[in-house]
Amino acid sequence: MLNSQVMDVQPRRRLTRAEAKARTRTLLLDAAAEVFARKGFAGASVEEIAETAGFSIGAFYSNFANKDELFVELLSTHSRNQIAESARLMDERAEGKRGLGQQLINAADEDFPLLEAEFWLYSVRNPQVATALAERMREPREALKTLVGEALRRLDPPVIDIDVPVSVVVASLFAGLVRQRRIDPDSVPAELYDQALHWLFAGIAAERAQPQG
């Protein structure tokens, strides 16, 4: 699921050695994402990951040094996909608030939030991983910042010199709502995210139009 977009898992011609190994890696990463989401990092065994991918333990260890290395690789792939998602959003619509509600609904139904929680915990518990992750998250964060910046410039009156990280608020709100919806869908209606963003931007615009203490 997570990695199959990088490489076709069912190519038509015979595979070279390198291609076959890369395919095994990809399948192991996909399987790991699923098992980690279901069992958690510590709860997932190398054996289950390997068997889910259709391989043996030996195949696993010929592709990864250990479970940690695979997890970090999964983590970076995850970040890369976040970049792609942000970029896609920016390309399709630069309006900043349209169709985001649906994205929330979709996100809450996937394994992603589980993996993200797992990644977050792993990062907090392994500071050296946290710095590496922060490094990789810089690009998607900048992309979101640009997107939010454009939305602010489109306000009436335009806001161009704001020094508060509104994009961080947006990202945090999204992540928080996704988690809440996962455990209690009824408490997070489909339009809630859109509505909250609308208010947030309206509040910023109102403050600029008529500054108050």
Partner DNA sequence: GTCTATACGTCGATAGAC
Partner DNA sequence: GTCTATCGACGTATAGAC
Which residues of the chain form contacts with DNA (CB under 7 A)? 17-18, 20-21, 23-24, 44-48, 50, 55-59, 61-63, 66-68
Q: Is 185 in the site for a second copy (CB under 8 A)?
A: no
- Report the partner that residue 98 touches, choosing among DNA, a second copy, none (CB closer than 5 to 8 A by kind): none
Q: At what angle do helices 166-183 and 127-153 cross, to 10 degrees?
A: 110
Structure tokens at 82: 């976040």
- Of the candidate residues 7, 19, 120, 153, the single one contacting a second copy (CB under 8 A): 120
* Encoded amino acid at 119, one letter: F
Q: Is 190 in the site for a second copy (CB under 8 A)?
A: no
Q: Is 43 in the site for a second copy (CB under 8 A)?
A: yes
Q: In whole angstroms, give the CA distance from residue 207 to residue 213.
A: 9
Q: Is 76 in the site for a second copy (CB under 8 A)?
A: no
Q: Are 7 and 23 in contact (CB under 8 A)?
A: yes
- Of the candidate residues 3, 24, 77, 123, the single one contacting a second copy (CB under 8 A): 123
CB of 6 to a second copy, least distance (A): 26
Residue whose structure tokens are 């979101």: 144
CB of 29 to a second copy, least distance (A): 20
- Report the partner that residue 13 touches, choosing among DNA, a second copy, none (CB closer than 5 to 8 A by kind): none
- Spatial CB neighbours of 11, under 8 Å, sequence gap ≥ 6: 19
- Report the partner that residue 67 touches, choosing among a second copy, DNA, none (CB closer than 5 to 8 A by kind): DNA
Q: Are 208 and 155 in contact (CB under 8 A)?
A: yes
Q: Are 57 and 31 in contact (CB under 8 A)?
A: no
DSSP secondary structure string for all residues of 24-41: HHHHHHHHHHHHHHHH-T
Contacts with a second copy, residue ranges (CB under 8 A):
38-43, 113-114, 117-118, 120-121, 123-125, 130, 133-134, 141, 164-165, 168-169, 171-177, 179-180, 182-184, 187-189, 192, 195-196, 198-207
